[in-house]
Amino acid sequence: MTWALRRTATGAAALVACVALTSAAGARAASAAPPDAPSARAAGLEQTWETPQGTWAVVAMGRLESRLNTFWQLFFRPVGTTRWSLVTPPGVASNGGFSADPAAGQSGAVIAGFQPSKHLHYSPLAETTDRGRHWRAGILPSALVFAADAVAADSGTVLALVRADGGALVRADGSITRWSTVATVATLGSTAAGRACRVSALSAVVVAGGTPEVGTDCAKPGAVGLFREVRGRWVSSAPRLAGGGSSKLDVVRLWSDAGGTTALIEGRGAGKSSLVVAWRRSPAGRWTVSAPVTFTGDVLSTATGTGSSVAVVTSAGWRAHAVESIAGPDRRWRSTGRPPAGTQAVAFALGGLEALAVHGGRASVWQLGASGRWHETSGRVTVPIAYGSST
């Protein structure tokens, strides 16, 4: 079985037109834009997530050791099927990776923001409401921050975290070309909750119950940076973590669906790294926090599933060396050990996990059996990649 490959000519034309029409805006943003992300790889940007319509996957392909020859692809698999389709927004360089989010208020809708790369110093956006068949183009006034959850959408409102002003939350209503600033690192840091955390960077954004919620990195050990806007004021919405007093804690993922809000929090300190997941059923509700799981290396990719399931691929460089998963509150972490060679992401499927293993422009699909062993399926894809190009 092969994965279907689809491109939308009208979407490509729209995105190219958007870039051409907004080149002046991009030039203005470039003067204030920081350089590309600091490392050749993009740990943490790859992700998969389940929706009632199907599963989405953001996966890096190409020559992963070479940044300009690494191209992120977006795939979709309808519910009840095993066949993936290529639905990458066309017309814009994807060397820098994607920040993407399902638009909670619309069936089959996704907002994707392009991380800057090469000579692209600002971030184009693409929005679909029909599972990637067609894309509508937009543009941000600055480059996205380097985070998987740098964009969020719900019922016509789009939020984005950009690098301007030392890190800012911007908002668009109805249009993804006109933006207003909602908050910055400085304004968040000046609040009582922000001073308690010592906000150092914006790391995630979500729309929870119709209200913006922002995750941050905290310079103060043991502090979790989660902030929610309540009647025009930013207040702490963070869970309390046991045993995190000496660790620097960063919110690395933040998402919301019909079951509530989930946060993935990473702690680093004393030569050790750990992850905890926090779940909350309603914006005003209390968090339930998992036990920590320790790991070595970096977070390469993450997966979210229905029923509050979370999986994390840890790695050394681009080489995955373990998958840690947890099925929800009051459940224990489960380690699958080393996944198949080339694994860049995992996805929840058929009540279990499957791995997306990449070798250049080819990818294969592996399933985790009840015995705990991975076996390769007939699902394969070859994506034509023009090495040395920017698209």
Query: Tens place of pLDDT for every residue, the chain, 391 residues?
Result: 333 333 443 344 444 444 443 433 443 333 333 334 334 344 579 999 998 889 999 999 999 888 889 999 999 999 888 888 899 998 888 888 989 998 876 777 899 999 988 777 889 999 999 999 999 999 998 999 999 999 999 888 999 999 999 999 999 998 899 999 999 999 999 999 999 999 999 999 998 878 899 999 999 999 999 999 998 899 999 998 876 677 899 999 999 888 899 999 999 877 789 999 999 998 889 999 999 999 988 999 999 998 799 999 999 888 999 999 999 998 999 999 899 999 999 999 877 899 999 999 999 999 999 889 999 998 888 888 888 776 5
Q: Report if residue 128 sits inside a domain.
A: yes
Rounded to whole angstroms, how far apart are CA atoms 101 and 188? 23
DSSP line for 137-170: EEE-SSPBPSSTTSEEEETTEEEEEESGGGSEEE
Q: Report if residue 10 sits inside a domain.
A: yes
Q: Report if residue 177 sits inside a domain.
A: yes
Residues whose CB is less than 8 angstroms from the CB of residue 179 and which lie 6 or more positions away in sequence, other chains included: 140, 141, 160, 170, 171, 172
Rounded to whole angstroms, how far apart are CA atoms 338 and 324? 10
Domain residues for the domain of 218 are 4-382
Q: Report if residue 389 sits inside a domain.
A: no
> Number of folded domains in the chain?
1
**Model confidence, pTM:** 0.88
Which tokens sit at 360? 């250049």
Q: Domain holding 64: CATH number? A: 2.120.10.80
Q: Report if residue 388 sits inside a domain.
A: no
Task: Provide the pairing of β-strand 298-304 with 288-289.
Answer: unpaired
Q: How far apart are the first and last CA of the chain?
A: 27
